[in-house]
Amino acid sequence: MNANQIRNIAIIAHVDHGKTTLVDAMLKQSRIFRENQQVEERVMDSNDLERERGITILSKNTAVHYQGVKINIVDTPGHADFGGEVERVMNMVDGVLLLVDSVEGPMPQTKFVLRHALERGHKVIVVVNKIDRPNARPNYVIDTTFDLFVDLGATEEQAEFPVIYTNALTGQSGLSPDEMTDSLMPLFEQILEYLPYPQVEPNAPLQLQATLMGYDEYKGKIVIGKLNSGTIQKNQQVLRIDRDGNHQSLKVTQVFTHEGLKRVKVDQAQAGEIIALTGLGNVGIGDTITDPEHPKPLPPIKVEEPTLHVTFGVNTSPFAGREGEFVTSRKLRERLYMEAEKDVALRVEDTDSPDTFLVAGRGELHLGILIENMRREGYEFEVSKPEVILKKINEKWHEPVEIVEVEVSEEFQGSVVELLGQRKGQMVDMELKDGSVHYTYRVPTRGLIGFRQQFLTATRGEGLIHTLFGGYEPHFGHIHTRDHGSLVAWEPGEATSYGLHAAQERGTLFIKPNTEVYEGMVIGQHIRENDLDVNVCKKKQLTNFRAAGSDDSLRLEPPKNLSLDDALEYLAEDELLEVTPKDYRIRKRILPKNQRRRYQKQGGRVKS
């Protein structure tokens, strides 16, 4: 297939603006599936976590055919924490569909993704989705999108973008909101007409950059990238050039192209195609695969630095080894370094302790997804409180700052302004929108750790918050973010209704009766700033007047069910999160009560 019969495009959008649903519709209308085939919604979200959370975490490739042209589509994550995926994908495509909601318009994380597309010089088609919404305002959305292009330094040609209106759920599209067709034909036509075919050199020596990684149980590591020049065929000898300039001779075992949701084995691929290769061993993201006789490396992929780090360690709690399949430091180290190979936005380092590893990522969600994936794979480990990564610039410490956009109803605005003020937030902009208030703040990343739960509580779950990395600024000084302590189990055993009833007067419980606990395990949140040791295993003393089942009459408040993300946000500096395939528990670093008190009296501060 010639390069002019190919279009390589990425679909970018903010979380929940419908890009995965649009890919579904494009697949269905290009007859990828059989007429009677059962196809689930959001078919591109193949990962269990993606389905549960309703977000795209990993970039995925698919391909459709329209009028003899093959359209390779890459569905990208919309959350800034997975920006490492987006930055790499921009090296692999030649044009972009920017999807915006017909009511919300471009959101903070739209800016993040779009900036990288414009910097690469890509042309953009703006797709205004969910045009059927009752309060849709397409003219406002297009105006704000144009302003965004200008703010991000788009060229005149990029700023003169075509607009397509869609309802991805029903597979409709049109050149205006009032002239919608029952198919996506207008969108396909615009892709062929406006977005360029790959500018490649078919007769030049082989050159490909490893952009994405996959893994197959039988084929091993799969390297995905765009063939920039030349051709490649199975069993061909190639040369790998890594980011340090080292050379290694390798042999390509198999070559695949994409057709629909499947990888199709081919004998040879031409320049311009997005392909997958097997047999290349330890090739890393950003490495160049080239002709051994004409080695020509491509510029390495640059990715923004991580802003948060945590420590992963072998589980040291009294319950260690009960629930996990992989519990040793060797297995933990292997898994973390394997993840760092696939995800260039992640950093993994050994520490002074052989059982502990430092893992840095782009945000709490980025690290939380890794923790959840490892837990489901059977790993058992403990994690520390997330901490920001400081940088020394001109002999002064600087810390990462987030641009925070908040939308709340007017009745809650006072509480939100107070919360952000306590966390050293600086208001940049304020706008009134139909009974709600839209704020833009610059807040130290450190101040946002644990903020989301307080924000949702203050707005009764109605507030919207979006964050975007905003660079580094001089250190803001002390930030008081935690106004509560923990309720800590005093002794090991099973929690009783009697013990929990006494403890619930001191705060909010995280556990229910008959839960097994150990000394030093956090079982609730104290109403005051200090920690409080409580005996939740105690039983009521028997007397002649005690009736059978009298414990059952005690009224207990339902425990607060913390998600993994909530538990990670909750952690104090002297606490750890014990993670197993079946459960996760918050615990003190120093478990025995007497040792903890002695350490505090000596003025000790536990380092994370």
Binding-site sequence positions for GTP: 16-21, 129-132
Rg for the chain, CA atoms, rounded: 27
Q: Is 366 helix (H, G, I), strand (E, B) or coil?
A: helix
Look up residue 505 and give its DSSP letter.
G
Within 412-563, residue ranges assigned H as helices are 413-422, 445-448, 451-458, 497-503
The Cα–Cα gap between 74 and 23 comes to 9
The closest of 525, 514, 591, 517 to 561, measured between CA atoms, is 525
CB 31 within 8 A of CB 249: no
In b/e form, how buried is each residue of 396-409, taking b as 16+ CB within 10 angstroms? eebbbbbbbbbbbe
Is 558 exposed, middle or buried, given 0-12, 13-18 or 19+ CB atoms closer than 10 A?
exposed
Is 448 exposed, middle or buried, given 0-12, 13-18 or 19+ CB atoms closer than 10 A?
buried
The Cα–Cα gap between 500 and 514 comes to 10
The Cα–Cα gap between 287 and 210 comes to 6
3-state helix vs strand vs coil in the chain, percent to 5: 25, 35, 40
User: At what angle are helices 451-458 and 413-422 packed, to 10 degrees?
Assistant: 160
What is the number of other CB atoms lying within 10 angstroms of the CB of residue 505? 8
| Cα dihedral 46, 50, 55, 56 sign | negative
DSSP string, 163-174: EEEEETTTTEEE
Q: What is the largest CA-CA distance in the chain?
A: 96
Phi, psi of 173 (to 5 degrees): -155, 165
Parallel, antiparallel, or unpaired for β 237-241 and 231-233? unpaired
The Cα–Cα gap between 444 and 450 comes to 13
Within 354-450, residue ranges assigned H as helices are 364-376, 413-422, 445-448
Q: Which residue's entry shows tokens 């923790």? A: 371
Look up residue 294 and give its DSSP letter.
B
CB 185 within 8 A of CB 197: no
The closest of 508, 536, 505, 507 to 521, measured between CA atoms, is 536
Parallel, antiparallel, or unpaired for β 207-209 and 288-290? antiparallel
The closest of 298, 336, 295 to 314, measured between CA atoms, is 336
The Cα–Cα gap between 580 and 54 comes to 24
Could you tell me which residues are annotated as the binding site?
A: 16-21, 129-132
